[in-house]
Chain A
């Protein structure tokens, strides 16, 4: 105590010595009763105390607020350290005991279970990560990024964005014209399994699958993570980094060093499209392709196990490109929604994010493909009649009991027009097509930009549009998948000019047309043929049972000065038509609608079609989403969400069985919970080769004439 007092000398005139003395007495008495330590101290320095005391005022704050704070912090620190120490001293298996004590014995993870069954590593495995899940690291940067050399800018700690947000955005952006590195900046994908095992500390992507594969004997020499820079367009990863060549060489190496066993490829999310591109690339002749020859795939690939594959694109990508608003196109935004929506970049977060993501060509690979044929027109959509009751069931089970019957009826009566991917205003979204007055925006002249004055350094192409252009866009009222591409051409001409050089969104009429040899068609399953590999198998594994964004209700943003002029009308809600916060949702895995994930395997490639001339077998494996039962399960072992499904035990078991040599039939063939087959049938896509049709036609004609 005395020492403490001395630390806080108080210089005031004294007027009550007697009180001081008494206090001294107090001390002595207390000391006698209590602590020896302090006692000793006090006795050693009584004179000093008295000196100080003498100066003290009547109102001497003996224990000031400051002291209390310090004391409090000290207490907390000590407790914390103690706990930390205990935690560190704790045996590693302790948490498991606790978990087991609470929830009962956990089910064996699939790796352990299958090992007991006697499965062993057989086919080498190649992982292809999707968009945003792969790590990126800095190899060369501007001055503001000094000290970040070979540190992760994406994934992990994100290069400590919060310290230098603008610098980070600058480094993550690509060149707006070329879609390649800006001058003086080199950001490259992290290589190896670490590239995408965890997205951020504790947020697994591939880690669980890797751990389970390792249980049955997989290791580095039999697993390969095909990490690529997911910001680039697919062909540019080859141009800049030779990524496709590296994948080819690595697959060849894996096959060679594992006794000629073919690889099992496991792409996830956008990796599905990337690998589709790879399969075409590797067999194409050398200048544009990899020169592997026409039977490369059948020689090297046993199966392609697509997880959550957006074969036909995702509507989310539209919202992301159009207004940077998709609920979570980037997992980052799902992870830290408050963070990115905040104003840390001085009111322009969204614009910055949008400008950055618009330089990424890869986002354009996710724009819905197949146009109205697949995604539906103004008045119809394959998902028509989709009931939302199922989803609400989870949300409020109490209500559903009495309303279930009536609601189902309503849903049928009034179903959402999913075909209208973007509509301006809720009434437009619901009105029948004949009632909508549309003024074509395509010819509209973009007014000279009035807003392009002082918008700081944030540049989005909206500034070039001017009010007239913005108005024209809104006047068109509603957009289907076909007109969407035109819309994006209109609002972001530069981006789309870059994008259309690398991607295509149509449906091929005649696949023999020589133009389809160009690489821009390779990642569109509706404009390419699968390789000639009859022994190969294609799986589509995805989660169902989660509401997934499918169409949007937009409105003009009220303040059109320097911001993005459109935004999702979050006030639009309609229980009956699955409209919620301005978003119509359908069945899916939270990111990819069932239609996009399943159609190709359900119909497009099923049997011998023109897209699949060699009759590669396809299987659909759906996993019904069940939320984690309790907190201890973390992100759930039965989850069906887009990324969390990588920890789904059933899915992992399927993947391991395939890797250990099982075929699709042995796995149990199709496993379908959604109405994907119904929906696919509604899609009127010609699947027989056109020449066969012609021949048939001629044959008929001839026979008739005879």
Chain B
């Protein structure tokens, strides 16, 4: 016992010595040291100890000070944690395994499916990883480390400005800035996980592997998604590499054609590739007119953004798209707060505007497809699904009431989806005759106005700085914009960006596809301005989720603070529709997969390419496979096996099963032809497009 006590005292003394810096008086330590000696002398005599305590109450070694307690608690917690961890590791692996649902891979393997056709995966925007090959001094030590994707986001917190600089492209050329080389991560690792635990392709890859796929018949066509499509070829030879890979896989797998699985923007990238590969060399790949027919069995587009996404508009216009880039979905708090010194939005916007690829996602087809001031193909869309998924409880109680009320409102409060941007709620609701017309000619006149507020605005330079206050207000005065006038608007607010990007992308509808101008590569990624290649045996699938409210048009307002650095427009979050309306937080919603509206994903397969049309002269078969969104039923499911949202759909078992069946040799009719939940057919019928 005595020894225990002594030990304790020693500890006290030690701790006191250790903690002198915190403020113990030095004489106290001396005293304690004395006492320690005494203790040693009288170690065996317990009574003496007690006496001493009586005599020298003040010297009694002391108290847990705050620091000690902290140490103690932390030590306690750590020890417990380690113990638990130890036990956890001691447990046999089998005991802890979550009873996993047998994935489609296992199921289909039992059915006897084996790998047949090689598979090419084409990732979409933002999901592909980017790594650094050459950088400025601030990025020291990041050589061949990921700047984007793959869980390197800790770096963003360490040196945000540096990373933004490295991820930006040159504003004029849309290629690398001087002295910076950022390249796509090649291989399957390029886009299997976006961040640790946030899968993109991983689930699909794993299931494909179950029936025998591996490195030799599975390829990830990684490309730098920031560049315009033709530039990926000019800078990285990405298209040539893809061509060579497909040819190699075709030959080395016993002359089996390839099944391509593009996702999101990868869809239009692959469309571009299909045109490129058959075009003669200087501009194209020189594969000859039969290349696609010879090498490609099917193109299985997942969440295709064929006709663009409205989200891209808001992103370019005000960097506000709810989540066109998943960063903001991943870390909303971070980017909305002001870690970058009051200019987060401006910097992000400036970076995003250097990326040509975003321009490829602007809505294509103009008013014919997306609707004009007064009509839109989605007219009469019922917006009750947002309620269903968000608040189930309230739904169960007022189920009946709700639907009745809603129907009542629908008549009054029709959303004018055609007006992609309107300033103020009235502008989005009023009949078109009451609105001032947006005249594109007007822009050209005002754009020359001198910019008198172009004084030093920090480094975050957006083209808004070059606009005068007058012209900013003038834009807002025009009230409402459709897809056609929207392009004029963007050309007005960001002339340089649009000039750069429009050399690579086009957003119109071709009148006459035989016009020789359509041989230029800028038309290749627009399905409305190119012919599909001559490959009658090929199949095109449009696979996408439905049942999630998707941004379709916006209500804007002028930004209140007119600081020189700020973006002068912002989405008017305060505008809400009445119950049952599709307007929420300044955004009109339509049916879709959270990013791509049904219209954009399904129209080409439903109408534009169905049968023999002028866009599809050889009559390639098209199939629509829709997947109704069901939120995960329990936490165990993670992001859900029946999800329909834009990225999570890659973990949708039904979709994976379809892909695997096709990869194993099935045709579209064998997997069940069309599977439609939305009213895409009706919508398409409303679109008046000469076919």
Contact = CB atoms under 8 A, between A and B. Distances in A.
Interface of A: 1, 3-4, 19, 22-23, 25-27, 29-31, 33-35, 37-38, 59, 61-65, 67-75, 77-78, 88, 92-93, 139-140, 144, 146-147, 149-150, 163-164, 186, 188-189, 191-194, 197, 207, 210-211, 214-215, 219-221, 241-242, 245-246, 249-250, 252-253, 256-257
Given A63-B8, A188-B215, A38 B64 contact: yes
B540 to A, nearest CB: 27
B326 to A, nearest CB: 22
Interface stretch (B136-144, B414-422, B592-600, B633-641): B136-144
8 contacts: A22-B57, A62-B5, A63-B12, A71-B11, A88-B158, A93-B137, A150-B206, A256-B244
B101 interface: no
Given A71-B71, A74-B75, A188-B215, A31 B63 contact: yes
A220 B183 contact: yes
Contacts of A67: 72
A214 B192 CA distance: 25
Contacts of A147: 93
In the complex, the 8 A-B pairs of residues with the closest C-beta atoms, listed nearest first? A74-B75, A74-B71, A70-B75, A73-B75, A63-B8, A74-B74, A59-B1, A242-B252
Contacts of A74: 70-76, 78
B189 interface: yes
Interface string B241-276: 100100110011000000000000000000000000
A22 B49 CA distance: 13
A50 B683 CA distance: 80
B411 interface: no
A207 B141 CA distance: 13
Nearest to A16: B50
A217 B135 CA distance: 12
Interface residues of B, number: 66
Contacts of A35: 63, 65-66
A4 B69 contact: yes
Contacts of A186: 214
A221 B176 CA distance: 15
Contacts of B7: 63, 65, 68
Given A35-B63, A73-B78, A74-B75, A219 B58 contact: no
A19 B49 CA distance: 12
A38 B74 CA distance: 18
B235 to A, nearest CB: 8
Contacts of A193: 144, 186
Interface string B156-190: 00100000000000000000000001011011110
B54 interface: yes
Interface in B34-78: 50, 53-54, 57-58, 60, 62-66, 68-76, 78
B65 A34 contact: yes
B57 A26 contact: yes
Interface string B87-114: 0010001000100000000000000000
Contacts, number: 174
Interface in B1-43: 1, 4-5, 7-8, 11-12, 15
Contacts of B53: 22-23, 26
A211 B143 CA distance: 8
Contact of B248 (A30, A37, A93, A245): A245
Main secondary structure of the interface of B (DSSP, over half): helix
Contacts of B71: 70-72, 74-75, 78
Given A71-B72, A93-B140, A221 B65 contact: no
A246 B248 contact: yes
Contact of A77 (B74, B140, B144, B247): B74
Nearest to B132: A214
Contacts of A59: 1, 4
Contact of B133 (A27, A219, A246): A219
B66 to A, nearest CB: 5
Given A63-B11, A140-B209, A220-B186, 11 more contacts: A30-B60, A30-B63, A37-B66, A38-B64, A77-B74, A139-B214, A149-B206, A192-B189, A211-B143, A242-B252, A246-B248
A34 B205 contact: no
Contacts of A149: 206, 209
Contacts of B4: 59, 61, 64
A221 B237 contact: yes
B137 A69 contact: no
B579 interface: no
Nearest to B76: A70
Contacts of B682: none
A77 B237 contact: no
A61 B74 CA distance: 21
B140 A92 contact: yes
B674 interface: no
B240 interface: yes
B454 interface: no
B26 to A, nearest CB: 14
Most buried by B among A23, A92, A207, A256: A92
A191 B215 contact: yes
B75 A72 contact: yes
A146 B97 CA distance: 10
B141 A92 contact: yes
A139 B64 contact: no
Given A219-B133, A253-B244, A68 B11 contact: yes
A149 B62 CA distance: 56
Nearest to B62: A30
A456 B33 CA distance: 63
B60 A26 contact: yes
A72 B210 CA distance: 50
B140 A70 contact: no
Contacts of A215: 134
A253 B72 contact: no
A257 B240 contact: yes
Contacts of A150: 188, 192, 205-206, 209
A705 to B, nearest CB: 59
Contacts of A63: 7-8, 11-12
A473 to B, nearest CB: 41
Given A4-B69, A69-B75, A75-B71, A246 B216 contact: yes
B470 interface: no
Contacts of A4: 64, 69, 72
Contacts of A22: 53-54, 57
Contact of A38 (B65, B192, B212, B247): B65
A34 B11 CA distance: 17
A516 B206 CA distance: 43
A206 B198 CA distance: 30
B78 A192 contact: no
Nearest to B202: A150
A362 B573 CA distance: 66
B131 to A, nearest CB: 9
B58 A257 contact: no
Contacts of A93: 137, 140-141
Given A78-B74, A188-B214, A245 B252 contact: yes
Contacts of A62: 5, 8
Given A33-B58, A69-B79, A74-B72, A27 B63 contact: yes
Most buried by B among A31, A74, A241, A242: A74
B69 A139 contact: no
Nearest to A252: B244
A241 B76 CA distance: 53
Contacts of B338: none
A189 B63 contact: no
B236 A220 contact: yes
Nearest to B70: A74
Nearest to B143: A211
Nearest to A195: B187
Given A26-B53, A38-B64, A146-B93, A256 B240 contact: yes
Given A68-B11, A220-B183, A249-B248, A214 B134 contact: yes
